[in-house]
Amino acid sequence: MNPWTVQTLVPLPVLVPLFAAGLALALHRYDRAQRIISVAALSVVTVAAAGLVVFARDAPVVYDVGGWAAPVGVNLVADPLAALMLLVSSVVLLCVLLYSMAQGIADSGDRAAPLVHDTEAIRRILEAQDPDADELRRRNVLPVAIFHPTFLILAAGVGDAFLAGDLFNLFVGFEVLLAASYVLLTLGGTVERIRAGSIYVVVALLSSILFLLAVGLAYGATGTVNMAQLAERLPEIDPGVRLGIQALLLLAFGIKAAIFPLSAWLPDSYPTAPAPVTAVFAGLLTKVGVYAILRTQTLLFPRNEALEIVLLVLALATMLIGILGAVAQDDVKRLLSFTLVSHIGYMIFGVALATQAGTAAAIFYVVHHITVQTALFLVVGLVERRTGTTSLERLGSLATLAPGLAVLFFIPAMSLAGVPPLSGFLGKVGLLEAGVLDGSALAWLLVVGSVVTSLLTLYAVIRAWNKAFWQPRPDGQELPEESHLPWGMVGPTAALVTIGVGLTVVAGPLYDYAERAASTVMGEEAYIDAVFPDGAPRGTGESDEVTNDTGEDQP
């Protein structure tokens, strides 16, 4: 049998970053080696994801980890939805990694890099604690280059969460990416990051516990955690128990995705992290939550009218309250964090409609939002690098000082607000169309709410653009002319902005793909067929070698 098939691609997005993370940690003294390893690993992931997008188009690709067939073994399933999310996330991860390398977050050789600032703070604290300690000991306490390994583990967790073919593996993927995100958020352990990090960690721990409990309940009720089998068995169990499991899963993922009453942690914790970390969190982590909601609500559970109404109301509240928060902000990072919360509402709107059109629109919107939101945060990182602040009270006249930066901010901001012909407009049109097709009074209310949110987003980002780029600085000071942004930071940002614009160009095929992904998730047959080709469980949990020859140690 040929060992190199399409299925070989499936475990790569998890395996390669994990191995690379170990290698990078072992080589933490060799800065250049670390960089090469990280970039190579994420490039391999991107290529593998691109391959999966092509091969998963017709039927989901299933891989049995360790050779144990489903439902007993753990399997990874790359259906169109997972493959698409994987491709977008790996491209974003690669761009952010390149950006962070130029910013000098991994090494501390750069003057204006945030981490250098932090090490200074740590050094001061250490001096206050123990003035007699020698310089060498102090240097040992300063953070080692853990950024690259942690970032790779985050990538592995994201990949695992997207590819997981059973609920428990999804939980493990979540935990891997969350554990990495705790480290990245509290990088350097400064006062501000510890404050924001403790809130973030406690909230995330709670959501993990809820998720684990839901997995346990699902297992108790159906006797399986395999998604294909759950999709078959969940419709048959007691509706009350099913509603409990569904609501618990929704609660756990709702915290991750920052849906309105569960979203207060996000705008407080994200902006304190270094710019590339904030960018990748904003782009990916909440979307993993949205993906999990999409996956579980559509694939596993049959339609539930009451829960759909609750989700629609929550989507409306998320949109409006999030954007009203954004309008009131003085800091660009916080403003963008609030727009992030607000636009999660759009995706939940699409999911809550529970129609194929709604789901397809939500998938397209997720793809658009990952690229655009990450690009915006990267641009804000550039602004911070150029001017040393992100407060709108202190920024000004950047359009004359850094016209390129102004363009880089303007395009994704317009896309976020939904100005035609950018991808945000297309995503919103898709959602509005799905809402109108649904036709219920609540759906119409959400259509109106979406348009209002879109206008308020336009107001918020234009206000930021005016204050930071167009108006003169309030204090009348001029920026130093000579400081130039490194190309390594501008390049990846420009690449992401270009990809965001490119989404408009390829919107037709992309929307087709999103529709295909939606039909695979909504119509469960394709997914179940791929995991159980003959309609019956393939694995029995008994290895041939063990049953034939009990003398063998390992199958």
Residues interacting with another protein, by CB under 8 A? 72, 125, 129, 168, 171-172, 175, 179, 182-183, 186, 189, 191-192, 194-195, 197-199, 201-202, 205-206, 208-209, 212-213, 215-217, 219-220, 225, 264, 267-268, 328, 330, 334, 391, 393, 541-542, 546-547, 550
From residue 315, give the alpha-carbon distance in Å to each of 158, 237, 246, 342: 24, 28, 17, 9
Q: Which of 291, 302, 172 minimizes the C-alpha distance to 233?
A: 302
Say how far apart CA 519 and CA 481 lie, in whole Å. 54
Report the nearest approach of another protein to the CB of residue 233 (Å): 14
Three-class DSSP category at 506: coil
> Cβ closer to another protein: 182 or 470?
182
Strands (E), 165-215: none
> Cβ closer to another protein: 197 or 289?
197
Report the nearest approach of another protein to the CB of residue 193 (Å): 10
Write a three-state SS string for 202-263.
Answer: HHHHHHHHHHHHHHHHHHHHHCCCEHHHHHHHHHHCCHHHHHHHHHHHHHHHHHHHCCHHHC
> Cβ closer to another protein: 168 or 410?
168
**Do residues 159 and 42 make contact, with C-beta atoms less than 8 angstroms apart?**
no
Which tokens sit at 383?
A: 């602004």
Report the nearest approach of another protein to the CB of residue 515 (Å): 35
Dihedral-angle region of residue 237 (phi above 0 means left; psi in -120 to 50 means alpha; beta otherwise):
beta
**Do residues 62 and 344 make contact, with C-beta atoms less than 8 angstroms apart?**
no
> Cβ closer to another protein: 47 or 327?
327
> Cβ closer to another protein: 245 or 431?
245
Report the nearest approach of another protein to the CB of residue 391 (Å): 7
> Cβ closer to another protein: 57 or 538?
538
Report the nearest approach of another protein to the CB of residue 224 (Å): 9
Report the nearest approach of another protein to the CB of residue 223 (Å): 8
Residue type, position 56, single letter: A
Report the nearest approach of another protein to the CB of residue 340 (Å): 15
> Burial letters for 399-423: b for 16+ Cβ neighbours within 10 Å, e otherwise?
bebbeebbebbbbbbbbbbbbeebb
Report the nearest approach of another protein to the CB of residue 281 (Å): 17
> Cβ closer to another protein: 205 or 455?
205
Q: Which distant-in-sequence residues (6+ apart) come within 8 Å of 511 by Cβ? A: 360, 364, 426, 430
From residue 182, give the alpha-carbon distance in Å to each of 92, 110, 187, 337: 20, 24, 8, 18
Report the nearest approach of another protein to the CB of residue 31 (Å): 25
> Cβ closer to another protein: 180 or 312?
180
Angle at 313 between CA 170 and CA 264, to 5 degrees: 60
> Cβ closer to another protein: 58 or 192?
192
